Amino acid sequence: MSEISAFRITGGEKAIFVFKPRGIRTAESFRMGWQDSTAVQTQPTDGVWLQSVSNGSTVTILGRCKNNAGPTDTLDAYTLNTSNWYCGVIEVNSAATLVTFTIYSEAGAQLWQRTVNANIPTAAGRETGFGIIAGETSTDAAADILHIDYLRMEINRALIR
């Protein structure tokens, strides 16, 4: 994770993650994207991220936006296979009014895409960090949760320093 208030979502942000989910236990999860929490068991107050949900037999992923309220989730989740690599993409439109979440196969085929248009944290005071957090909150023995091959963040606008 970066520092948790390093970025303000104002439009043109894009994140790419190449990942392989490894676990399906009910007490584990991972988040990838802009977020202001560094504890896996604590949902961010503000952020735009891909969120895993495990139930002990499957792991799914959904898109989530939270602006000190909500969160607003994609209408459905995509079921991941723990044997496959995926590319997850988060794109914020130039006006920061829409966030599109997309999952691609390792071969580049689009598998799932959903857009969220509410609870996008754009106001001053709603800054976030960026990165990946994965964890398990039970006392079970340690196990793989997520393999990461690549991550990238882009900001497609003129930055003022």
For residue range 137-146, list pLDDT tens digits in order. 876 667 789 9
pLDDT of res. 139: 66
Q: What is the CATH number of the domain that holds 151?
A: 2.60.120.200
Inside any domain, residue 8: no
User: Are β-strands 110-116 and 86-92 bridged in parallel, bridged antiparallel, or unpaired?
Assistant: unpaired
* Mean pLDDT of each 10-residue bin along the chain, 161 residues long: 93 98 89 94 94 92 95 95 97 98 98 97 96 84 87 90 70
Inside any domain, residue 144: yes
CA dist list (Å): 35 to 24, 28, 52, 55, 111: 23, 18, 14, 23, 24
Inside any domain, residue 104: yes
Distance between CA atoms of residues 134 and 31, nearest Å: 6
Inside any domain, residue 5: no
Inside any domain, residue 4: no
For residue range 66-91, list pLDDT tens digits in order. 999 889 999 899 999 999 999 999 99
Inside any domain, residue 77: yes
Structural domain span for residue 60: 13-155
pLDDT of res. 157: 87
pTM over 0.85: yes
CB count within 10 Å of CB 151 equals 16
Q: Could you give the number of structural domains in the chain?
A: 1
Inside any domain, residue 160: no
Q: Do residues 91 and 97 touch, judged by C-beta distance below 8 A?
A: no
pLDDT of res. 109: 98
CA dist list (Å): 32 to 1, 124, 159: 10, 22, 23
Inside any domain, residue 161: no
pLDDT of res. 14: 98
